[in-house]
Amino acid sequence: MSDLQERARALDTADELAPLRELFTLDDTVYLDGNSLGALPRHVPARLQEVLTREWGELRIRSWGESGWWTAPERIGDRIAPIVGAAAGQIVVGDSTSVNVFKAVVAATRLAPEGRDEILVDANTFPTDGYIAGSAARMTGHRIVPVAPAEVPDALGPRTAAVLLNHVDYRSGRLHDLPALTAAVHAAGAVAVWDLCHSAGALPVDLDRHGVDLAVGCTYKYLNGGPGSPAYLYVAARHQPVFDSPLPGWTSHADPFAMTPGYEAADGAVRGRVGTPDILSMLALESSLDVWDGVGVEAVRAKSLALTDFFLECVAAYVPEGRVTPVTPAAHAERGSQVALRCEDAEPVMAALIARGVVGDLRRPDVLRFGFTPLYVGFADAERAARALADVLAG
């Protein structure tokens, strides 16, 4: 056994989060794609069976009240809130991330001072965010200004209405400075909207402490909510009385069952709701969040950094020199919970890794991505993945 294997074993033995792995349905595969789809918590199938057989099968429509279906979007939002550093009453769960990006960007332009006609968008954003922001800009008469996050402070001006940024870059794993960038946006009189898809559940976000205005995020990555599980929308309490959603659906009405032709928004984060909640995936997500009971985000972040440090060390020790180049920053303050490696022939390399039981993914043309979910990934996984990568590249 190599020194790195011995160290991995010792690190796993000392890991306070290691017992959480048993809460998930996992096999001998090294699963490093939780930044795309989180693993299944073991108890969720039984909960879904209960929802199907009793709540839907027996109670049927009564479950909207008796089983708490109607209040699920806000109830589950309050469970996500501590993970992203928000007080209760500011997060509503529902719809997709894309739909919530649309709500947030349009609402941000309506919150901004009059006369501002520019929306700054992360130039390297996940494509859908850019597509949605562009559509929102066309509909509201604004102009999109693509800008690298580091250049946002210099790009801000009296015409800036809103800024849409990713907390962690989906391709490189770079962590952007949410506190400083939010402060710069506010100093310019604009509204800050953050996409938390690659940070929530992997590192502290502290939305309230840093004064974020609006935020969106998915729940199927580090929150393990399941494929297509509903996303969430954060509306800071100070903005809720005037939050003006571009999708004023019936479930966000102050009296939804009055069925009146005129729209009157409900109070609070409920204003972010649109249509009938997707109950089956919503309740699967709620059950999945049980794995977070008693888990602190700070401990998750500490393990994430230790895992990615160790993986990079193993890659440097095992992989032939010059075959891969880290894209993810080495500095902890600039790193999310994934490691991206630039590699020639990335696609066949990843296919070979998967065939060897190491599952990551890639971003064309040449980036291998390895996501580290601290709730169930261990140091032995990191060492084995680096060793398998070396074998593939040596062969």
List the pLDDT tens digit at each of the 395 positions of the chain.
699 999 999 999 999 999 999 999 999 999 999 999 999 999 999 999 999 999 999 999 999 999 999 999 999 999 999 999 999 999 999 999 999 999 999 999 999 999 999 999 999 999 999 999 999 999 999 999 999 999 999 999 999 999 999 999 999 999 999 999 999 999 999 999 999 999 999 999 999 999 999 999 999 999 999 999 999 999 999 999 999 999 999 999 999 999 999 999 999 999 999 999 999 999 999 999 999 999 999 999 999 999 999 999 999 999 999 999 999 999 999 999 999 999 999 999 999 999 999 999 999 999 999 999 999 999 999 999 999 999 999 97
195 part of the active site = yes
pTM: 0.97
Tell me if 97 sits within 8 A of 217, measured CB to CB: yes
What separation in angstroms does the CA of 171 have from each of 228, 278, 381?
Answer: 20, 29, 22
The catalytically annotated residue of 220, 222, 232, 376 is: 220
Number of helices and strands (H, E) in the chain?
12, 13
Single-letter amino acid code for the residue at 51: V
Please report how the helices 379-394 and 3-14 are oriented relative to each other, as an axis angle in degrees rounded to 10. 150
Active site residue 303: no
| CA distances, 258 to each of 244, 250, 251, 264, 271 (Å) | 21, 10, 11, 11, 16
pLDDT score of 395: 79
Nearest to residue 248, comparing CAs of 269, 264, 268, 230? 264
Residue showing tokens 């064309």: 364
Q: What is the pLDDT of residue 1?
A: 65
> Which of 24, 31, 102, 126 is flagged as catalytic?
126
Catalytic residue among 79, 103, 221, 303: 221
Q: Any catalytic annotation for residue 369?
A: yes
**Residue positions counted in the chain:** 395
3-state secondary structure of 29: coil
- The answer to whether 126 is a known catalytic residue is yes
Of 303, 369, 384, 387, the active-site residue reads: 369
Given the residues 15, 129, 169, 195, the one annotated as active site: 195
Provide the residue type at 55 as one letter.
Answer: E
CA distance 359 to 202: 19
